Amino acid sequence: MKNKSILFLSNGHGEDSCNGEIIKALLSLDVNFKLVAVPIVGEGTIYKQLGVPILTPTRTLPSGGFLYMNPLVFLKDIASGLIGLLFQQINIIIKAAKQYDILMVTGDIVVAAIAYLTQRPYIIFLSAYSSYYEGKLNLGLILPYLLNSKRCLAVFTRDQFTAEDLQKQGIKNAQFVGTPMMDNLTSTKVDLNLDSESKMVALLPGSRLPEAKNNLKLLLKLAENIHQISSKKIEFRVAAVGSLMVELDEIASSLRWQHHNRILNSKTGLKVMCYSDSFAEILNAADLVLGMAGTANEQAVGLGKPVITIPGNGPAFTYRFAEAQLRLLGSSIQLIGTQPADDLILQKAAETAIKTLDNSEYLKSCLKNGEERMGKPGGSLKIAQFVRNPVSSRNRVSGNV
């Protein structure tokens, strides 16, 4: 359909990224779409990079969208203008929505409710929910109403288990076609300077500063512990955001390491190379991942990688978050410690890393678990095809109303 107009809503960095992959897939089908977006949380950098206009004011809030992990930061968000910003965004969305054929929303009940209020048809990718957390989703009173609305044309889930659970609970238009977050792992052909005889361990500190900076310090200490006890050659690569690369001098200084040209050197002779443009390469090449991240850890698991996590000081990657992620991602995750990582936890995590690299049966099981939990690539295109032509797409899906 030419000149179809689509309004994208999302409420979080990972949700922005998922919508971004759907937008890329849409544009591969037809360049004549009119696209706009509203990131409820954050600045919407992904949309800006894709050249998609942002319809409302945006702001980065102290919580980063992780209110459920620490409700106290909700007060900081309010002080930063959360309530006023949200009402302003909703008002603009409702007024503008009549100009758009359909809404594509990614996130949770917040964006589902906003989509419902527009009185326009909408499709939702429920990225924030999984039945793996508790075995069965507690939908509450409002969410089933939003998902069963005649204007809700499809409910896409993040895994097959959740789709089956929702269908049992009466959400007949729930389906799993793959998760868009597995579609942005295309190689940029960057040379990681790896030794073919070495094992490679990836460090994923997260994307949000200053937390990512503190996480990287912990992960570097863990890498040094692994280096000291390993009898094998192991190389380490950091997948960092650009804003974290700027902090490498300070990080090295605080650990009494040296930094030169993206390479961190410890006193014990460990060399760690850092990249801001090679996430896909690092993840694909890794034999093991040390992760303190949300979406990045999920992508690692989806690729069949074993992931070791340690709790940080937050606000995002705390023990509570890591334990919930363990339930979501299953056996591919090994969570070490129940409190912010100290020397004892780091030592235990290092020992676990060495054992993991030697456990061939466990490594094989991670491949199977990854596909089960995250699905195969291609979800973005399937969702995009539905957005482009929801009626015919819905007719092809068995069991949909």
Is residue 188 a part of any domain in this protein? Answer: no
**246 phi and psi angles, rounded to 5 deg:** -65, -25
Please list the pLDDT of the chain residue by residue as tens digits (401 residues). Answer: 457 899 999 987 789 999 999 999 999 998 788 999 999 877 788 999 999 999 876 655 555 554 444 555 444 554 444 566 677 778 888 998 999 999 999 999 999 999 999 999 999 999 989 999 999 999 999 999 999 999 999 999 999 999 999 999 999 999 999 999 999 897 777 889 899 899 999 999 998 889 999 999 999 999 999 999 999 999 999 999 888 999 999 999 999 999 999 999 999 999 999 999 899 999 999 999 999 999 899 999 999 999 999 999 988 899 999 999 999 999 999 999 999 999 999 999 999 999 999 999 999 999 999 999 999 999 999 999 999 988 655 554 433 33
Tabulate helix, strand, coil % of the chain (nearest 5).
Answer: 45, 15, 40
To which residue do tokens 């945006």 refer?
A: 58
| Residue 61 and residue 10 share a domain | yes
Check which CATH number belongs to the domain holding 258 and give it. Answer: 3.40.50.2000
| Residue 328 and residue 280 share a domain | yes
| Residue 143 and residue 230 share a domain | no
| Residue 221 and residue 166 share a domain | no
Domain limits for position 152: 5-183+377-396
3-state DSSP assignment of residue 179: coil
Is residue 164 a part of any domain in this protein? Answer: yes
**285 phi and psi angles, rounded to 5 deg:** -85, -15
Spatial separation of the C-alpha atoms in residues 331 and 306, rounded to whole Å: 9
Q: What is the pLDDT of residue 58?
A: 64
Query: Strand 263-265 vs strand 174-175: parallel, antiparallel, or unpaired?
Result: unpaired
Number of domains the chain is built from: 2
Helical ranges in 181-304 per DSSP H: 211-229, 242-245, 248-255, 279-285, 295-302
Burial 39-75 (b: 16+ CB within 10 A, else e): bbbbebebbeebebeebbebeebebbbbbebbeebee
Q: What is the pLDDT of residue 401?
A: 31
Q: What is the pLDDT of residue 87?
A: 76
| Residue 369 and residue 240 share a domain | yes
How many CB atoms are located within 10 Å of the residue 171 CB?
23
Burial 237-265 (b: 16+ CB within 10 A, else e): bbbbeeebeebbeebbeebebebeeeebe
Which residues have a Cβ under 8 Å from the Cβ of 144 and sit 6 or more positions away? 169, 170, 171
| Residue 386 and residue 369 share a domain | no
Q: What is the pLDDT of residue 399?
A: 35
Tokens matching residue 279? 């996430």
Is residue 401 a part of any domain in this protein? Answer: no
Strand order in the sheet with 5-10: 34-39, 5-10, 102-106, 122-125, 152-156, 174-175
| Residue 220 and residue 106 share a domain | no
Spatial separation of the C-alpha atoms in residues 65 and 62, rounded to whole Å: 8
pTM given for the model:
0.87
| Residue 244 and residue 135 share a domain | no
| Residue 331 and residue 246 share a domain | yes
| Residue 337 and residue 230 share a domain | yes
| Residue 214 and residue 123 share a domain | no
| Residue 206 and residue 86 share a domain | no
Q: What is the pLDDT of residue 117?
A: 95
Is residue 66 a part of any domain in this protein? Answer: yes
